[in-house]
Chain A
Amino acid sequence: MTTGAAALHRLLASAATLLGVVTLVFLAVRLVPGDPVQNLLGDYADQAEVRALRARLNLDQPLWRQYGSYLAALADGSLGTSVEAGGVGRTVADRLLEVFPATIDLAAAGLGFALLLALPLGFGSALRRGSWLDRGAGALAIASAALPVIWLGPVLLYLFSVRLRWLPLPGQPLDGPAHLVLPGVVLGLALAGKLTRLVRTTALEALGAAHVFVARARGLRARTVVLAHVARASLPPVITLLGMQLAALLGGAILTEKIFGRPGVGSLLVDAIARRDYDLVQGTVIFVATVYVVANLVVDLLLLALDPRVRHAR
């Protein structure tokens, strides 16, 4: 298969997945036991009110017709209408795009922290196997998997913002990178642990490979060998892991934003749940899933460009 054909194949698969995502969300919202209108209005709602809301949400239509108007709202890019305080509605897409940059900042901070910690630690522990650095990295990898974001966040917040006052408290205006330090650390720590392990494993494999042995035998300096050969060999697996872990990063962002009171897609979702804003909840879930699918598509296309073997692995 040529690179172009493989890329096209991947693109079509992603499109099919997205259609499936959208359909699953549609079915979940309508078929899960529990009446959205009753949930929204409470148990003692007036019957006329119930009927009116049912009509406004298109829930009085047959399922296939609901599906049609649902797809139409997705296709025109609005993702539906959000009910805001005062009854003024804006499109779900408007509200999402307004807060999305803040979530990107957070995810980038988490990713940046993870890479900053994991690359030196991973390569270092591979080069000095069995040293205290290696053992420390191993312990960190295990501990970071167990520490829940919802605990680490409040604890660090208390230590660094309340006690030591080194970093800003939640609710203060967002300016400067100081606001991203704690949320980035909290969000990125689990990823850092996984990444350290992966970098160490791939680096150890690469260090044992024939071409690295030859490069060393030719008298190249250790640092040159590591940068030129070992680091390059670790790149594809690291990119693959990052693509897969993006899910955890986006999921963790929802909790991190709530803990630190940051605006973002996660806060918007939590807020929409509290207000029982159906279109907004549904739209946010679709939006996040779409971001994830598209990001993974980009990762796959990157790998396709980086590693010729991927083209033939079918």
Chain B
Amino acid sequence: MPASARLRSGLAILALLGAAGLLGPLLAPFPVNARDGSALLAGPSAIHWLGTDEEGRDLLSLLLHGARVALLVGWGTVLASALVGTALGLVSGLAGGRLDLAVQRLVEIAMAFPGVLLAILLVFVAGRPGIASVVLALALTGWAGYARLVRGLALSLRSRGWVEAGRMLGLGPPRLLVRHVLPAVAGPVLVLMTFQVGAAILAEAGLSFLGLGPQDGASWGTLLEQGAVLFVKAPLMGVAPGLAIALAVLGVTLVGDELRERLDPRSEG
């Protein structure tokens, strides 16, 4: 696929997902918990376009509500992680010394928990989690990637000509940071953010599949968990939420790939 087509289809998917997330509850034909007793596990019909689940809830409405959860967890996790991670990475790379060592050790500890493992533990301890707790649990390890990336960039920037020149002209650290370091760091951070949105959506779906997702919304992962055992009776229940997740992640991956090639041409793989 040519690059521009990839970027365009990625952006189109993101726009679709964004619209579903923002307007989902308005677009949905039924309230999320409306039960239709006359249609339990029904197939697609004029009333229920994608059919219903075993409690008679409208699948299309559930999917639209799920888009909101995916969007909130995806972007919430990424914003929290990027903010904390970038700040710590800048401090670590620019200050050096003991502070740098301490931050690096924290990064290694956070990265020692594979995937959703620490989030599983935190959500388990917290009991019935909301969207905000799931975001916090995912961000508790998610920041480390940004810290490592930004530290590396900041280290190489410290000795660049224009930063040195700024320092010699007497610019203070805050001004140096904002005018000279942040703009150079922004591109790669944006690329990482795009990819992490997909990872966070997958992580949330996985947590919900295990029954550890946010309890205050209809998650695609929860729907899949129900659908997995209903494949024979209601194939759409097992297929549709998975396609929604795959489409969302595909969208951010396409955009991320393209952004990486444009903003951060040196990195590969």
A244 to chain B, nearest CB (A): 9
Question: Looking at chain A's contact residues, is the secondary structure mostly helix, strand, loop, or mixed?
Answer: helix
A21-B112, A154-B231, A255-B209 are contacts. A28–B257 as well, Cβ < 8 Å?
A: no
Q: Which of chain B's residues have a CB closer than 8 A to the CB of A158?
A: 231-232, 238
Residue of B nearest to A142 (CB): B253
The answer on a CB contact under 8 Å between B242 and A255 is no
For residue A292, CB closer than 8 A to chain B, the reply is yes
Asked if B108 contacts A13 (CB within 8 A), the reply is yes
Q: Could you say which residues of chain A place their CB within 8 Å of the CB of B116?
A: 251, 254
Interface size class of B (residues with CB under 8 A): 35 or more
B227 within 8 A of A: yes
Interface positions of B from 113 to 163, Cβ below 8 Å from A: 113-118, 120-122, 124-127
In the complex, whether B82 has a CB less than 8 A from a CB of chain A is: no
Asked if A289 contacts B117 (CB within 8 A), the reply is yes
A126 sits at the interface (CB 8 A): no
List of B residues within 8 angstroms of A288 by Cβ: 114, 117
Complexed CA–CA distance, A148 and B1 (Å): 23
* A11 contacts chain B at the CB level, 8 A cutoff: no
A275-307 vs B, CB cutoff 8 Å, 1 = contact: the mask equals: 000000110010011001100000000000000
Flag whether B95 is at the interface (Cβ < 8 A): no
Interface size on A, residues (CB 8 A): 61
Q: Mark A194-229, 1 if CB is under 8 A from B, else 0.
A: 100110011000000000000000000000000000
Question: Does B71 have its Cβ within 8 Å of any Cβ on chain A?
Answer: no
Using Cβ atoms and an 8 Å threshold, which residues of chain A touch B221?
A: 150
Q: Is A34 an interface residue (CB 8 A)?
A: yes
Question: Does B254 sit at the interface, judged by CB under 8 A?
Answer: yes
Q: Are B206 and A150 neighbours in the complex by a CB distance under 8 Å?
A: yes
- CB pair B250–A17 under 8 Å, yes or no, is no
Nearest Cβ in chain B — how far from A136, in angstroms? 12
A147 touches B (CB below 8 Å): yes
B224 contacts which of A150, A157, A250 (Cβ < 8 Å)? Answer: A150
Interface contact B268-A201, CB-CB below 8 Å = yes
User: Would you call B113 and A21 a contact (CB within 8 A)?
Assistant: yes
Tell me, yes or no, whether A62 is within 8 Å of chain B by CB.
no
A32/B105 in contact, CB under 8 A: no
18 contacts between A and B (CB under 8 A): A13-B108, A17-B108, A24-B118, A29-B125, A33-B126, A145-B253, A151-B224, A151-B238, A154-B242, A201-B269, A250-B114, A250-B117, A251-B116, A251-B206, A254-B206, A258-B209, A270-B210, A289-B112
Q: What residues of chain B have their CB less than 8 Å away from a CB belonging to chain A?
A: 1, 105-106, 108-109, 111-118, 120-122, 124-127, 198, 202, 205-206, 209-212, 221, 224-225, 227-228, 231-232, 238-239, 241-243, 245-247, 249-250, 253-254, 257, 268-269
Instruction: Add 5 more A-B contacts to A148-B246, A154-B228, A155-B242 (CB < 8 A).
Output: A20-B112, A142-B254, A247-B111, A247-B115, A285-B117
The 10 A-B pairs of least Cβ separation, nearest first, read: A251-B115, A151-B242, A247-B114, A20-B109, A154-B228, A146-B250, A146-B249, A34-B126, A250-B114, A158-B231
